[in-house]
Amino acid sequence: MTATVSHPQRPAKPQGEVYRRFDPQLGAWISLRTLDIELDLERFNRWQNTPRVLAFWDEGGSLDDHRQYLEKLADDPHTLTLIGCFDDQPFAYFEAYWAKEDRIAPFYDAGDYDRGIHMLVGEQAHRGPHKVASWLSALTDYLLQDDPRTRRIVAEPRADNDKMIGYMQAQGYARIKEFDFPHKRAALMVLERTIENQR
């Protein structure tokens, strides 16, 4: 039980690199590794304090603020923090979470093994549709491979973030509806496991 939610017992979180593949379109390796607070804190702090990221995440703050934020997530069995890399150079931060224990669960019929994602590209050089196609497909593939019982991957970008919503739709996510969190109007994006995206 988490609060009033009954859910499966979650496995221990992995450590280190969890996913790697070569993207022939970019001529680069895309990889995902777990966040290391000592290694990644300054980078995370810099990313969160950039105006573009602040506009959507609203998590700006000091190094101490961000250490506390990341330590809380490290202790939370429902969230896995990840760093995305191109050719082993960090460019993005992702949170992968079990949707049933998350704030998104009341807004749709969350399954026991549904996963959700929060996404942040911190390095300006790695923005753009071709890069998003690479890392979003890799992140999706990792979560579908991580547990074969995961039937859906969900996300809740701000409803007015048309660019990100368009990128997600290009990768097979459907915009199901809009709903209100206390801090934002969100769009529910859902990708269903299919034979095609299991390859």
pLDDT of residue 166: 97
**What are the sequence ranges of the domains in the chain?**
17-198
pLDDT tens digits for the chain (199 residues)?
888 888 999 999 999 999 999 999 999 999 999 999 999 999 999 999 999 999 889 999 999 999 999 999 999 999 999 999 999 999 999 999 999 999 999 999 999 999 999 999 999 999 999 999 999 999 999 999 999 999 999 999 999 999 999 999 999 999 999 999 988 999 999 999 987 676 5
First to last CA, the chain: 33
Q: Which residues have a catalytic role annotated?
A: 156
Q: Which CATH architecture has domain 17-198?
A: 3-Layer(aba) Sandwich (3.40)
